[in-house]
Structure 1
Amino acid sequence: MGTRILRNDGPFISWLQGAKSVPYKVSVCTGSLLLGAAGFLRDCWATTHPSSYGLLEPYCGQVIETRIVQDGKIITGGGVSTSIDLGLYMMSLLAGEDAMQAVKKQIDYPYVMQGIIRRQ
């Protein structure tokens, strides 16, 4: 519930806006509300925890009801359980598919990532 409070915290949002030049902005669960409050999701597709789709709507171009959404360099994930898939997805973007598969094997992750929407 902390993100719901922080999205209205001016000094925190100002601090977060300092990440403007960061190559990738990534959030999982309701962290997307913070990216939205900081203005990073304007005109973007994004996702969040399913119970917070309505809270995300004012901040982005379109709420996509799925697990992972990549809109250019903005990547948002659904609920907390999506964080492993999101981490693996980022690994594949930054280090390549082979590196991601090696980590997936090392952490004994048998699941297939699903629900990934890309908008470039």
Structure 2
Amino acid sequence: MKFAFVIYDGMTALDFIGAYDPLTRLKTMGFMPEVTWDICAYTAEVRDGSGLQFTPTRIGEPLAGYDLVYVPGGFGTRTLVQDAGFLAWLATARDSRCLASVCTGSLLLGAAGLLAGRRATSHPSAYDELRAYTPQVVDERVVDEGNLVTGRGVSSSIDLGLYLVERIAGPEVKARIKQQMDYPYGA
């Protein structure tokens, strides 16, 4: 199983790390040694909204062929929804087994044409913006539409990561990862 974690300038670091941590534990805790992942970006230099620098392992390469493509949110989404090159690159994830986003990452999926006719969620402050891409904006922590899973605001990235772990490896693995993370909440 192969994951692509999308990063970009202006993303929210917790949006990325919140799901990255539980998902990569599938391998690091020995549940699924075959899991691999790439940190994918459209540009070589990436900083979160506070200036923290991230280093991608793949730059501008198509996102096809991944089992899971994960897109974080952040204020950078507001510019990227207008960036035709970035959106075309993101659209190469169209045939992935699962597309996931948290917070305003759903705006990017929508702008790339990947939400059509699907229910989705985002940070509550972005619901009106999200309606431009889907009329079915849902006020839930995690919304599962089969091969499209979206999470609400920033902190829900942990919940979304654990939710995806359960989809991939089952409730027992999720419970063990959650325990190792010392995560006491409902996810």
TM-score normalised by the chain length of structure 1:
0.92
Tell me, in whole angstroms, the C-alpha distance in 1 between the residues paired with 2:135 and 2:168.
26
2-side partners of 1:72 and 1:92: how far apart?
14
Q: Which of the two has greater helix per residue?
A: 1
Q: CA RMSD in A?
A: 0.7
The count of residues paired between Structure 1 and Structure 2 equals: 113
Residue of structure 2 equivalent to 1:102 = 176
Gaps of 5+ in 1: 114-120
Alignment of 1:7-46 (within 5 A): 7-46=81-120
Distance across 2 between alignment mates of 1:73 and 1:13: 19
Moved over 2 A (4+): none
Q: Which runs of 5+ in 2 are unaligned?
A: 1-74
Larger radius of gyration between Structure 1 and Structure 2: 2
For the pair 1:66 / 2:140, whether they are aligned, the reply is: yes
Percent pairwise identity: 50
Q: Encode CA deviations 1:13-56: one digit per residue, 9 max, x unaligned.
A: 00001111111000001000000011111000000001000000
How far apart are the structure 1 equivalents of 2:97 and 2:151? Answer: 17
> Normalising to structure 2: TM-score of the pair?
0.59
The answer to which of 95-104 and 59-68 deviates more is 59-68
**Residue in structure 2 matching 1:6, options 67, 74, 80:** 80
